[in-house]
Structure 1
Amino acid sequence: MTVGNIYFIAAIAVLGGGLFGFDISSMSAIIATQEYLCYFNQGGLNEQGTCVGPRSDVQGGITASMPGGSFVGALVSGFLSDIFGRKKAIMIGAVIWCIGCVIVSASQNIGMLVVGRFINGVCVGICSAQVPVYISELAPPSKRGRLVGAQQWAITWGIMIMFYISYGCSKIKNTSAFRIPWAVQAVPAIMLFVGMLFLPESPRWLARKNRWDDCERVLILVHGHGDPHSPFVAKELAEIKETCEFERHNADVTYWELLKPRMINRTHIGVFTQIWSQLTGMNVMMYYITYVFAMAGLTGDTLLVSSSIQYVINVLMTIPALLYVDRWGRRPTLLVGAALMATWLFTNAGVLAARGRPAPPGGVGGVKEASWEVSGPPSKAVIACSYLFVASFATTWGPVSWIYPPELYPLRVRGKAVALSTSANWIMNFALGYFVPPAFVNIQWRTYLIFGVFCVSMFIHVFFLFPETAGKTLEEVEGMFLDPDGIKNIGTPAWKTRVTTKQVSQLERGNVDAEKGAVVHRDDTNNSPERMDSAAEKEYRP
């Protein structure tokens, strides 16, 4: 049995994003526990008689091994997706994740832990690159932003759920404190694999493989809701055939094509969307929030519970973006997010610089990365700004960084283009995962200044070079980057682009009966459904 409900399809597919969330908090909740620090101890005991744990650079390497694997997985995913299909590529990722979980949970030393996390990362790279492509090629245009953005929501749920699992297991006074959470990570991957068995393949991938009967069946199931005579399906199938005919007269897509004059501007925007999403400093909050709150004087259960509040905020504040991002637009959302995050980062840097002081040798509470401390009302300000930072990211850059790149590219290059932009996300994630622990030790509160400057830089970059894509057709997006002959990268200045909402709102008021997949023309002067369908679906092709 194959399920055609687009919300169910998205709910299963975005479990791939949830795997990344599980990995983030399985590390952040564990790295400050004595069980973890003693088992992977490299520095003996500190003055308080507790284990020091891995060296700062080694801990950075342990954390960074997962995004390192994700970088490789994201690049490989373009080839896997083109050869085996979007659906099977995601299923391959789920199998790889389970293998990584076995190795991680059975780790006997740091080397084994790094290898297991790298393998987990390969899965995350595959799924994070291809889940947005899979959903965008199945979703109707009016719901595409919401459904693709659900990947970020799944990430936030994975972070929160896994943190509380890890927190509960931290009460166990042996190595099960970290082995159980790392083993439990396999559960959502098993759910993803089994769930994908009941989902359809991307109709566009099927068409590229000349499996036209299968392609039509998927369109009838998902967009025609079982009606083989749906005008919507007929028109969509005709346009897919036209696209495939064009591709047959062109060379196969390679990564090199994304660097050619026709695509280089869009490639740079998609890549930097993912780079900037990492340079916001969100990794500081996700991976190493326990270090930040230790600097603010929190210890023990209070430290872990206070850290977990940010994960709840992350889940809740992603909801407004999913509901309204198609109205707000991508561009204003990114600009507002960059400005707000810069504000909170600079505020934290100022409070720590003015009111803080160097921590005792060995760090606050024996956590050497907490090399700076602040107390009293200033510590509450640091905690509050940290929460506000997470809320700002969750409503803006979090979901939009996944929604925006697939909208920049035509169908022919979308798989590899999104894989390339996602790989940029993971290579920056790798660099930051390695950089932050030594940064807290060596430059202390100045770490916040670095990320604050990044947020100002991304605001300027987005303002001048990131155009608005919300509500626009493929032809309109092409026109923003190329001249009418498709030769020069002249395009429309980014700051002059706006959200296109008029036609979308008309569709949703009743011109298109989305539930039946058929288009209903309501103009008494011309009551031809086929005519309306032709115009509407040409206008709103994903």
Structure 2
Amino acid sequence: MFKFGNIYVIAAVAVIGGALFGFDISSMSAIISTQPYLCQFNQRGFDANGRCLGPTEDVQGGITAAMPGGSWLGALVSGVVSDKFGRKRSIQIGAIVWIIGSVIVCAAINIPMLAIGRIINGFSVGICSAQVPVYISEISPPSKRGRLIGFQQWAITWGILIMFFICYGSSFLQGEAAFRLPWGLQAIPAVLLFVGLCVLPESPRWLAKKDRWDEATSFLALIHGKGDTNSPWVHRELEEIREVVEFERANADVSYYELFTSRMINRTTIGVFTQIWSQLTGMNVMMYYITYVFTMAGLSDGSSNGVLLPSGIQFVINVMMTVPALLWMDRWGRRPTLLVGAFFMCLWLCLNAGMFAVYGRPPAEGEFTSKAESMAVSGTPAKVIIASTYLFVASFAPTWGPVSWTYPPELFPLRLRGKAVALCTSSNWAFNFALAYFVPPAFANITWRVYVLFATFCAAMFLHVYFMFPETANKPLEEIEEMFDDTKPGAIKYIGTPAWKTKNTRSLALRQERNEMLSSSEKVGDAVHKESVA
């Protein structure tokens, strides 16, 4: 069967799995403030104006958190599924699960049914979000790996944007169609993902681990050698993969336990905290509950969908500001990108906390429909809050957004990569679950101090990255292994080097790739010349 070998086509199809997560985020954030949704799942009765009050704050937090709860389980399971069936097949399994969950969510008639559907959707997102970066990292050349894995985050932002405006358009419909239409349409990307993966190659590294060397060689040639199995690049990659596979088989069994041994605990901690910190930036406040924030800042015009269009601007910013990371993340390196992002997010969170603390007031009786909308700000301070919220998103989008997906797959050896990234991603979803449940009651009870809490986390992650996170940009995956494992040949040049002294080797990686491509071209030219002479 014909397979696409263009690396950008492969990445573009695979990251549709990320778009599923984006669809879920905005399908909830855009709908929770609309009257059709509040009336369908109404627990609190009606206000003085006859408006439905919807679920309680705790129940709404639980509904929102059902998806990341399922994602946590899906991410953990994905390592086993990926190692057994392959990177590509595991993503296809995730696509099928998403379709099932979307049907249940679309048909939900009560809160338990809605929560179950979202748990199933989350299980799918957990699988895809863990294994798409693994799949892409194992087929990407070092100088493009950050950009290609970063497409995962860009796909998430596009999913958020597209679904948000589908929800915005649907908000003008009458009755249940206002939320059932978006929830039904979100199954379409999963269909495209499943079909598109049918014409993509499997990860050559996974094939090699399963002793399917002919297929591994063929797919490496297809992806990196334009079909030429004699390409020096293909030959070098194959030899490095063979050496790693043989070494790993001779020295260790594969299990989750190994991730916590003395040889692995350092990189496991770094990978897990990369995902944890990405959640503790506070981005969930800006995504799941942005309508709450902007309602408190006075952007609602009194209608159930009045705050949606201003909220949608931040999703446009999210999409646009991810592009610089796709273009230059491999040039910037992982460490500087994370450090700059943590600094500026801390700044904007502190500014929001100050505005709410100094100028905020308790809302008037009946002013807002949710207790989570516990503060009201108007005038210039409200404009500052809106602007700093947009700037926060603009700081997250090119930094922690894409790098949090790019960095963990680079840290681990082949035999553990599927399970390790599954563990790291499951920590992302565990904290996503906690925060999705935490934010509505937190706004209701500690008000502006929510921003102080997240600002403190951003300061802590800045210090953690600076002292503990080594640079991995532009290094082959097998070379990154040497940074942590002193049993590897040549590893002594990395062992003992502080994280803040590790360097981005972009120029060396580009030069090496260019030389090998030129060598391959010369080899083909010589063959053609000899044939013509003969």
TM category (shorter chain) comes to over 0.9
Kindly tell me: are residues 241 and 505 of structure 1, through their superposed partners in 2, closer, same or farther at Cα, counting changes over 3 Å? Answer: closer
Aligned partners of 2:375 and 2:447 also within 8 Å? yes
| Structure 2 equivalent of residue 357 of structure 1 | 361
Cα root mean square deviation, aligned: 2.0
CA–CA distance in structure 2, aligned partners of residues 250 and 112 of structure 1: 48
Q: CA deviation at 1:484?
A: 6.1
| Structure 2 equivalent of residue 33 of structure 1 | 34
Q: CA deviation at 1:11?
A: 0.3
| Structure 2 equivalent of residue 169 of structure 1 | 170
Aligned AA for 1:327?
A: R
Aligned AA for 1:441?
A: A
| Structure 2 equivalent of residue 511 of structure 1 | 515
Aligned partners of 1:41 and 1:54 also within 8 Å? yes
Aligned AA for 1:448?
A: Y
Q: Which runs of 5+ in 1 are unaligned?
A: 522-526, 530-542
Aligned AA for 2:246?
A: E
Q: CA deviation at 1:169?
A: 0.6
Aligned partners of 2:44 and 2:53 also within 8 Å? yes
Aligned partners of 1:479 and 1:491 also within 8 Å? no
| Structure 2 equivalent of residue 533 of structure 1 | none
CA–CA distance in structure 1, aligned partners of residues 509 and 482 of structure 2: 19
- The one of 377, 381, 401 equivalent to 1:378 is 381
- The one of 487, 491, 500 equivalent to 2:496 is 491
| Structure 2 equivalent of residue 502 of structure 1 | 507
Aligned partners of 2:142 and 2:476 also within 8 Å? no
- The one of 432, 437, 440 equivalent to 2:435 is 432
1:5 equivalent in alignment to 2:10:
no
Q: CA deviation at 1:243?
A: 2.3
Q: CA deviation at 1:482?
A: 4.6
Kindly tell me: are residues 119 and 416 of structure 1, through their superposed partners in 2, closer, same or farther at Cα, counting changes over 3 Å? Answer: same
Kindly tell me: are residues 217 and 490 of structure 1, through their superposed partners in 2, closer, same or farther at Cα, counting changes over 3 Å? Answer: closer
Deviations 1:220-270 (A, max 9, x none): 211121123222222322332222222332443111100000010000000
Q: CA deviation at 1:288?
A: 0.3
Deviations 1:105-162 (A, max 9, x none): 0001000000000000000000000000101111111111100110000000000000
| Structure 2 equivalent of residue 532 of structure 1 | none
CA–CA distance in structure 1, aligned partners of residues 447 and 21 of structure 2: 27
Q: CA deviation at 1:327?
A: 1.0
Aligned AA for 1:518?
A: S
Deviations 1:18-53 (A, max 9, x none): 000000000000000000011101101123321111
Aligned AA for 2:500?
A: W
CA–CA distance in structure 2, aligned partners of residues 266 and 174 of structure 1: 51
Amino-acid identity (%) = 65
CA–CA distance in structure 1, aligned partners of residues 473 and 342 of structure 2: 19
Aligned partners of 1:512 and 1:520 also within 8 Å? no
| Structure 2 equivalent of residue 453 of structure 1 | 456
CA–CA distance in structure 1, aligned partners of residues 246 and 482 of structure 2: 22
- The one of 393, 396, 402 equivalent to 1:393 is 396
| Structure 1 equivalent of residue 337 of structure 2 | 333
| Structure 1 equivalent of residue 532 of structure 2 | none
Q: CA deviation at 1:397?
A: 0.3
Q: CA deviation at 1:483?
A: 4.4
Aligned partners of 1:330 and 1:400 also within 8 Å? yes
| Structure 1 equivalent of residue 242 of structure 2 | 241
- The one of 452, 464, 468 equivalent to 2:467 is 464
Aligned partners of 2:141 and 2:476 also within 8 Å? no
Give the SS at the match of 2:153: helix
Aligned AA for 1:329?
A: G
Q: Which moved more, 1:10-19 or 1:131-140?
A: 131-140
Aligned partners of 2:19 and 2:158 also within 8 Å? yes
Give the SS at the match of 1:305: helix
CA–CA distance in structure 2, aligned partners of residues 80 and 475 of structure 1: 23
Kindly tell me: are residues 348 and 38 of structure 1, through their superposed partners in 2, closer, same or farther at Cα, counting changes over 3 Å? Answer: same
Deviations 1:190-234 (A, max 9, x none): 000000000011111111222222112111211121123222222
| Structure 2 equivalent of residue 323 of structure 1 | 327
Aligned AA for 2:361?
A: R
Q: CA deviation at 1:475?
A: 5.8
CA–CA distance in structure 2, aligned partners of residues 315 and 474 of structure 1: 28
CA–CA distance in structure 1, aligned partners of residues 48 and 454 of structure 2: 32
Kindly tell me: are residues 246 and 504 of structure 1, through their superposed partners in 2, closer, same or farther at Cα, counting changes over 3 Å? Answer: closer
| Structure 2 equivalent of residue 537 of structure 1 | none
Aligned partners of 1:232 and 1:519 also within 8 Å? no
CA–CA distance in structure 1, aligned partners of residues 271 and 173 of structure 2: 44
Kindly tell me: are residues 361 and 512 of structure 1, through their superposed partners in 2, closer, same or farther at Cα, counting changes over 3 Å? Answer: farther
Aligned AA for 1:231?
A: P
| Structure 2 equivalent of residue 220 of structure 1 | 221
- The one of 399, 421, 424 equivalent to 1:421 is 424
> Between Structure 1 and Structure 2, how many residues are aligned?
519
Q: Which moved more, 1:453-462 or 1:499-508?
A: 499-508
| Structure 1 equivalent of residue 116 of structure 2 | 115
Kindly tell me: are residues 221 and 490 of structure 1, through their superposed partners in 2, closer, same or farther at Cα, counting changes over 3 Å? Answer: closer
| Structure 1 equivalent of residue 531 of structure 2 | none
Q: TM-score, normalised by structure 1?
A: 0.92
Q: CA deviation at 1:490?
A: 6.2
1:205 equivalent in alignment to 2:206:
yes
| Structure 1 equivalent of residue 105 of structure 2 | 104
Aligned partners of 1:482 and 1:491 also within 8 Å? no
CA–CA distance in structure 2, aligned partners of residues 404 and 291 of structure 1: 32
Aligned partners of 1:204 and 1:240 also within 8 Å? yes
- The one of 346, 349, 353 equivalent to 2:350 is 346
Aligned partners of 1:169 and 1:178 also within 8 Å? yes
